[in-house]
Structure 1
Amino acid sequence: MMQSWQSPRPKIEIARSALEKALQLAGWLVLIAMIVFISVKWGGLPQRMPTHFNLRGEPDGWGSRWTLWILPAISALLFIGLNQLSRVPHVFNYPVAITEQNAAFQYTVARQLLAWINFEITVMFAYISWTIVNAAKSGGVGGAWDILIIVGVLFVTIGIYLTRAIRGR
């Protein structure tokens, strides 16, 4: 039974776990590395770059090299936004009813889910940036199947969360 966000839920303070802190630090490092990588490679990039790849990894969309900065910008906005969202787990949707007895567990597991997804999305954007830069410099193929694997990892992460949340009713 899904519980409505309008239902009163316990608002409790739960300290960030070591895992959440580690994932947040790793995410910041990946985000910074993405920005540094693009900055270092910038001078050697062509004005026209691939911006999209088909399932064979061949470029099928093109744009200015300035479009490459959209990836770290979106990644940073998502990263900061999900970090802020994780501070209010009582407003999330849960697959189980939240009670006084299970609130701490459910909030912790949900925050860990957000930490993992936040990190995984940041890695995905960094990988896409790396792929685009390498394809632009070599005129070669991107990594379309790799992105599908990364998206698969996101779904596995969500599946693990749902299993843990439902078992911890």
Structure 2
Amino acid sequence: MYDKDRPILSIPTSPTERVLNVLSSMILFVTYAYIIFMWGELPDKIPTHFNGAGEVDGWGSKWSVLPLPIIGTIIFMVFIPLRKYPHRYNYPVEVTLENAERLYSTSKMVLSVLTTIISVLFLLISYEIIQVALGYKGIGNWLLPVTLLSIFGTVFFFLFRTIKLK
């Protein structure tokens, strides 16, 4: 079957994808659990934003910590059904019957990897917010470079891998 001149293939979920998907959901659960566990300890005013040096430059109510795991959950829930339609994605190479399975498998994997990375980052940011709110030293200024490197590094790795698969 074809969609817009692309083959529609049923690509099974790989064991690595399964592990990453379970890991992502567990990390999201840990994030919620950590926030719930620490909720009573949090002051009414907590950090909501950090500059590039890792210093607090924005404050808000303690409810401000909740959007992170909620956004992570939304991303997780959106990426799950997206994995079923890799024939609809944009690719930097032409999709043919010969390369479709490899391209689709790679694109499904990048969604699983990115979901895991985002889950980890949201856990770290939630941890940072809570630790700083409680007066402890936070993670520091390495979080922004690690965030950028992990997300863009993943995207570029899979982009080059996709181009190589053509």
1:14-163 alignment, distance < 5 Å? 14-138=11-135, 140-141=137-138, 143-163=140-160
Deviations 1:123-158 (A, max 9, x none): 111110000000000164553431321221111111
Which consecutive residues of structure 2, in runs of 5 or more, have no partner in the other structure? none
Deviations 1:21-44 (A, max 9, x none): 000000000000000000000000
Tell me the SS of whatever aligns to 1:125: helix
Tell me the SS of whatever aligns to 2:94: coil
Q: CA RMSD in A?
A: 1.4
Asked if the contact 1:58/1:141 (under 8 Å) is kept, the reply is no
1:58: Cα distance to partner? 1.5
Q: Which moved more, 1:86-95 or 1:158-167?
A: 158-167
Q: Tell me the percent identity.
A: 34
Q: Which moved more, 1:111-120 or 1:149-158?
A: 149-158
Name the TM-score, length of structure 2 as normaliser.
Answer: 0.94
Paired residue total: 164
1:3 aligned partner: none
Name the TM-score, length of structure 1 as normaliser.
Answer: 0.92
Deviating beyond 2 angstroms after TM superposition, the runs of 4 or more aligned structure 1 residues are 139-145
Asked if the contact 2:52/2:144 (under 8 Å) is kept, the reply is no
Deviations 1:81-102 (A, max 9, x none): 1122111100000011001111
Letter in 2 for 1:16: T
Tell me the SS of whatever aligns to 1:138: coil
Letter in 1 for 2:47: P
1:7: Cα distance to partner? 3.0
Tell me the SS of whatever aligns to 1:55: coil
Letter in 2 for 1:80: M
Deviations 1:54-84 (A, max 9, x none): 1222211010001111111111001111122
Distance in 1 between residues matched to 2:115 and 2:139, nearest whole Å: 23
1:168 aligned partner: 165
